[in-house]
Chains A and B, each alone.
Chain A
């Protein structure tokens, strides 16, 4: 079933590897934010191919993940990848699976629109479920940015509907 009118927020990462799991931490916190019913939030963990179903079901996806890109710790960037190659080279430990899945979607002509929030982290050496202070402090801003993007996407959709109705 296609969920055309819904937006999926999907946090991915390894919850056991400290800052690497920032995507999952953000998704879990968003679940407590009482977002409207047309926003689905999923903790995608290290799901890889298991996540294909979500990528097929939704036309608009907000993806959250960690990246090792030499930017200052906690930098938040929003990118719109169209191909697997557009993803940052050093994403979290599940990156190969995720990129392969994106290639597969392209091959099947089922690529949704992906808005990717990446949070720069310093190291993948860290173990444990706790975030470092700098990354934990970045989460409120990340959540604000996600909510802002959701509002923007909804407004665009509304504009399109009004235009379609006017015609």
Chain B
């Protein structure tokens, strides 16, 4: 006799994701992940000017707005064989780094930390001891006893007012919270500091992209004029400000995020053996330093790892028909040639056919179709994408910078490399790649400045701006590493218009339903075997799913009919 529990929605902030699990003797025996919202971007884009696609896809989500725009301009540039100038590459890379730092810090402190940090318990901490502890792990200046005691007073006032707001959904006091009160207080203090900090780093997007949210991109380069002594464009003063923001970002990662991550992780080492799941990892790679087509120049290398075997990395080719395919065997879509066929995205179809129960419903019939997500596969394999996949691919490719940060963390925590294949590994990998990205951001900045000083002000290649220069038919693929993992857009252009446009987003790789062979995707697989101490408070499920940084806004392409957002955990006998 197993019990089925439903967690819906599972995300703390963005998204529309539902998870149903079966529990037997305190452990998860089966899991189903369902996207309950659909947003048919593909249909909105058909027949439009390919040069405008970036503006539409950038609207898909409020969290990773600029990465979709980047991927879109790359797809069009790929189709039309446009090479962008070095300055544009550096500006895009700097914006990429700013987005990572913003996204990863916000994920850690505002979407994930409260799965590990008990806010209410932080009120019991001794401010003096907290101060000593904070100073022993970091040189971050805000660490006096008075500082921590002020934070406690503010939180107490907030809690006493009954307006728990952002902290209302926590399972405070759950036995799976293991941190001493002082570590909880540090986590809480930095939750507030991170909130302040995050609004600074995104200014980089407003400087180069003209606005934030949803900054401007351009097919052929970037839409900003750059010149050291230009009064109205991006001049020395504004560039210096970008450098300063990147430097502050690096300091925040090194002095706040990483010390907190390590301190928290040291109390949850058992999570190094929970939540591993598939063991197949894939990255497309990103941050080109010598053009998009020179994949060897990427700071993040691409590749695939199967069965946790990091002695071997396979190359991934997004153009080959048999490599990346999307299945709809358990999705609310239909294909012309039948439900069980896999389609390469250049031949992709997006025709919705909802066959699920009429909402509101108790639970989904998971033996049939149960999600608005399609199921992508690489050479038939279910793959995990995201920070852990990127760090493992970099590590397995023998890249020194990756090895240095990963090995240091493993040594500091005294855990083996195998502990990376886990919930803990996923959460740690996000922090570790932030260290790399913060360093690279400054490198790109220096390179941009050097280029400009050498007299190169070119920011866009506009030779193919006029559609009359285009071939009658063209197709391209734009890929990137979104903060949540490998992202690609496939475009078919015919007679100067978009004939087909398919997005395969990271959360689709990770959160998709079963495929035609019944293989589980990353979320479902990662939950198997996870202990759940209290079925009414399934903190363990949330920890693992949050470790992937779920973002459903773009992976499912409308709401259920009720448009409900009620946090609900229902327990059903099965």
Chain B residue contacts of A45, Cβ below 8 A: 59, 62, 65, 213-214
Residues of B137-169 contacting chain A, CB below 8 A: 154-155, 158, 163, 165-166
Do B44 and A16 touch (CB < 8 A)? yes
Q: Judge if B195 is at the interface, Cβ distance under 8 Å.
A: yes
**Which of B281-289, B401-409, B509-517, B558-566 has 4 or more CB atoms under 8 Å from chain A?**
B558-566
Residues of A43-74 contacting chain B, CB below 8 A: 43-53, 56, 68
Question: In the complex where A106-B163, A106-B165, A127-B558 touch, is A16 in contact with B56 (Cβ < 8 A)?
Answer: yes
Q: Judge if B39 is at the interface, Cβ distance under 8 Å.
A: yes
Do A48 and B39 touch (CB < 8 A)? no
Chain A residue contacts of B15, Cβ below 8 A: 96
Q: B150 to nearest A CB, angstroms?
A: 12
Q: A166 to nearest B CB, angstroms?
A: 36
Proximity bits, B2-13, A CB within 8 Å = 1, else 0 = 000000010111
What secondary structure prevails in chain B residues at the interface with A? loop
Interface range on chain B (Cβ under 8 Å from partner): 35 or more
Do B63 and A48 touch (CB < 8 A)? yes
How many residues in A have their beta carbons less than 8 Å from beta carbons of B? 42
Do B558 and A125 touch (CB < 8 A)? yes
Tell me the nearest residue of chain A to B168, going by C-beta. A103
Q: B112 to nearest A CB, angstroms?
A: 14
Q: Which of B59, B110, B211, B563 has a CB less than 8 Å from the CB of A15?
A: B59
Do B195 and A96 touch (CB < 8 A)? no
Q: Which of A48, A89, A108 has a CB less than 8 Å from the CB of B195?
A: A108
Chain A residue contacts of B163, Cβ below 8 A: 83-85, 103, 106
Q: B169 to nearest A CB, angstroms?
A: 10
Chain A residue contacts of B59, Cβ below 8 A: 14-16, 45-46
Do A50 and B213 touch (CB < 8 A)? yes
Do A46 and B110 touch (CB < 8 A)? no
Q: Judge if B571 is at the interface, Cβ distance under 8 Å.
A: no
What secondary structure prevails in chain A residues at the interface with B? mixed
Do B559 and A124 touch (CB < 8 A)? yes
Proximity bits, A100-112, B CB within 8 Å = 1, else 0 = 1011101111000
Chain A residue contacts of B9, Cβ below 8 A: 96
| C-alpha spacing A103/B165, complex, angstroms | 5
Tell me the nearest residue of chain A to B557, going by C-beta. A127
Q: Judge if B248 is at the interface, Cβ distance under 8 Å.
A: no
Chain A residue contacts of B61, Cβ below 8 A: 46
Question: In the complex where A16-B60, A47-B62, A68-B563 touch, is A107 in contact with B213 (Cβ < 8 A)?
Answer: no
Q: Judge if B198 is at the interface, Cβ distance under 8 Å.
A: yes
Do B165 and A124 touch (CB < 8 A)? no
Question: In the complex where A15-B59, A106-B165, A124-B558 touch, is A90 in contact with B154 (Cβ < 8 A)?
Answer: no
Question: In the complex where A15-B59, A90-B563 touch, is A129 in contact with B13 (Cβ < 8 A)?
Answer: no
Chain A residue contacts of B37, Cβ below 8 A: 93
Do B192 and A108 touch (CB < 8 A)? yes
Residues of B1-39 contacting chain A, CB below 8 A: 9, 11-15, 37, 39
Chain B residue contacts of A83, Cβ below 8 A: 163, 165
Do B62 and A94 touch (CB < 8 A)? yes
Residues of B45-63 contacting chain A, CB below 8 A: 56, 59-63
| C-alpha spacing A99/B63, complex, angstroms | 15
Q: B185 to nearest A CB, angstroms?
A: 15
Most buried by B among A50, A90, A109: A50
Do A127 and B202 touch (CB < 8 A)? no
Tell me the nearest residue of chain A to B164, going by C-beta. A103
Residues of B161-200 contacting chain A, CB below 8 A: 163, 165-166, 192, 195-196, 198-199
Tell me the nearest residue of chain B to A89, going by C-beta. B565
Question: In the complex where A14-B59, A84-B165 touch, is A44 in contact with B558 (Cβ < 8 A)?
Answer: no
Chain B residue contacts of A129, Cβ below 8 A: 44, 56
Chain B residue contacts of A50, Cβ below 8 A: 62, 65, 199, 202, 212-213
Chain B residue contacts of A15, Cβ below 8 A: 59
Q: A67 to nearest B CB, angstroms?
A: 10
Do A125 and B158 touch (CB < 8 A)? no
Q: B96 to nearest A CB, angstroms?
A: 16
Q: Judge if B449 is at the interface, Cβ distance under 8 Å.
A: no
Do A96 and B13 touch (CB < 8 A)? yes
Do B199 and A56 touch (CB < 8 A)? yes
| C-alpha spacing A126/B245, complex, angstroms | 40
Residues of A124-141 contacting chain B, CB below 8 A: 124-129
Chain B residue contacts of A52, Cβ below 8 A: 195, 198-199
Given contacts A15-B59, A50-B202, A97-B62, 8 further A-B contacts (CB under 8 A): A51-B213, A53-B202, A90-B565, A93-B37, A102-B165, A107-B154, A107-B192, A124-B563
A selection of 14 A-B contacts at a CB cut-off of 8 Å is: A16-B59, A43-B214, A45-B65, A47-B65, A49-B106, A52-B198, A90-B563, A94-B62, A100-B13, A104-B195, A107-B158, A124-B559, A125-B561, A127-B40
Query: Residues on B close to A: CB < 8 A?
Result: 9, 11-15, 37, 39-41, 43-44, 56, 59-63, 65, 106, 110, 154-155, 158, 163, 165-166, 192, 195-196, 198-199, 202-203, 211-214, 553, 558-559, 561, 563-565
Closest 6 CB pairs of A and B: A103-B165, A46-B62, A47-B213, A48-B62, A103-B166, A53-B199
